[in-house]
Amino acid sequence: MLPRFIAFLTLVGIVLSMPIEEQDDDEEEGLRIVCPEDGVNPCFATGHETFGIINEGDIIETIKKAMDGDDEERNALIDKERLWDKGVVPYIYHQQFSARDKARIEAAMTIIEKNTCIKFKQYEKGNSEQALVFITRLRGCRATVGYKLSRKRHNLNLHPLGCLGRSGTIIHEMLHVLGLKHEHARPDRDNYVAIMWKNIKDGHQKNFVKGSDKEFTTFDIPYNYKSVMHYPAVSFSKNGEPTILPLDPTVDISILGQRKEVTKLDLEKINRMYKCKKHL
Ligand SMILES: [Zn+2]
C-alpha cells in the first residue's frame, strides 16, 4: 500500500513540476491576426502593441517618426499618397470588442459610407496586411492620421468607456484615419478663433499649432465651429479658462467640440479629398 502511495505522490510531483503552458500570454505578445478555421467567424487581432507616441491630443504618431524624425507632419489632406486606395479602408477588430461595441462602431462606419464614397471592409484571410487598420480598445480615443505605406500599423483605438457613447466621437477618430486633422488647426483658423496660449497647460501647446497652407488645404470648405474635428473651448486648459475662443461673438462657445454628430461639412471635406462623385 505504502509503495503505491509513494508512487502516487511521485506522479503528482512530476505533474506539478511540469512547465505549465501559458494560455493567456497576450500581454507579452505583439499584435497578431488570428483567422478561425470555422469559416463562420471573422479574423480578429489579438495580443498587444504600443502603436506610437500621441502627439496632437488623440493623434498617434509612429515610434519611427519620434526616432528618426521622418516627414509624418505632411498633411494627408494635400498628399494623395496619404489617402486610402480607392477610398477602401480595410480593418480588423481586436478580439476584446463585444457585439454591442462593434454595432456602435459599424453604425458610425455606415454614416460615413452613406454620405461619401468611403468603404470600410473587414479583413479576410489572405488579404494584404500592409494597409490594415487595427481597431483596438486600449485606454483613450485615438487614431493614426491618413494612410501611410511605411507605417508599421494603422490604428483606431476606441475604448468602450468614453469613446463609444457618441457617434461623433467614433467618427472623429475615423476621420483622422481617413486623413483629416483638427478643424482648429486649419491654416486660416486665425480668422475664426483666437488661441489663448496663456491658458494652455504646459507641454500641450503643440495641440494648437496650425497647419501650414503649403501642406494643408481646407478644400474651400468654410470654417466649421460645429465640426466633429474641432476641439472644445477649454481643451488642455490649465485654469478652466478657454484655450480656443471664437472671434465671431454670435457663436455659442458650447458648440465647440460637439461630438453628438458629424456635420455635413465634415463629410463634404472627405468627399472632396477622395474626389467622390457624391456631394452633400
Ligand atoms: Zn482628434
For the stretch 43-66, pLDDT in tens is 999 988 776 667 667 887 765 444
pLDDT, residue 31, reads: 86
CA 141 – CA 172 distance, rounded (Å)? 9
> Is there a single domain that holds both residue 203 and residue 166?
no
pLDDT, residue 213, reads: 83
Domains: count for the chain: 2
> Is there a single domain that holds both residue 138 and residue 171?
yes
pLDDT, residue 278, reads: 80
pLDDT tens sequence across 101-137: 999 999 999 999 999 999 999 999 988 887 899 999 9
Per-residue pLDDT for 77 more than 70?
A: no
Active-site pick, 56, 61, 72, 173: 173
pLDDT tens sequence across 205-257: 988 998 888 778 899 999 999 999 999 999 999 999 999 999 999 999 999 99
CA 244 – CA 256 distance, rounded (Å)? 9
Cα(229) to centroid of ligand 1, in Å?
6
Domain end residue (candidates: 178, 194, 216): 178
Is the separation of the CB atoms in 209 and 184 below 8 Å? no
3-state secondary structure of 231: coil
Q: Is 64 domain-assigned?
A: yes
> Is there a single domain that holds both residue 166 and residue 59?
yes
Please say if 173 is a catalytic residue. yes
Per-residue pLDDT for 69 more than 50?
A: no
Cell numbers that stand for 135 in this block: 481597431
CA 274 – CA 178 distance, rounded (Å)? 9
Mean pLDDT on 134-142: 92
Q: Provide the CATH number for the domain around residue 128.
A: 3.40.390.10
Q: Within a 13 Å sphere around the CA of 136, how many CA atoms are in the beta-carbon half?
A: 24
> Is there a single domain that holds both residue 70 and residue 148?
yes
Cα(258) to centroid of ligand 1, in Å?
12
Tell me the CA end-to-end span of the chain in Å, nearest whole number: 87
Structural domain including 265 reads: 183-273
Is 0.85 topped by the overall pTM?
no
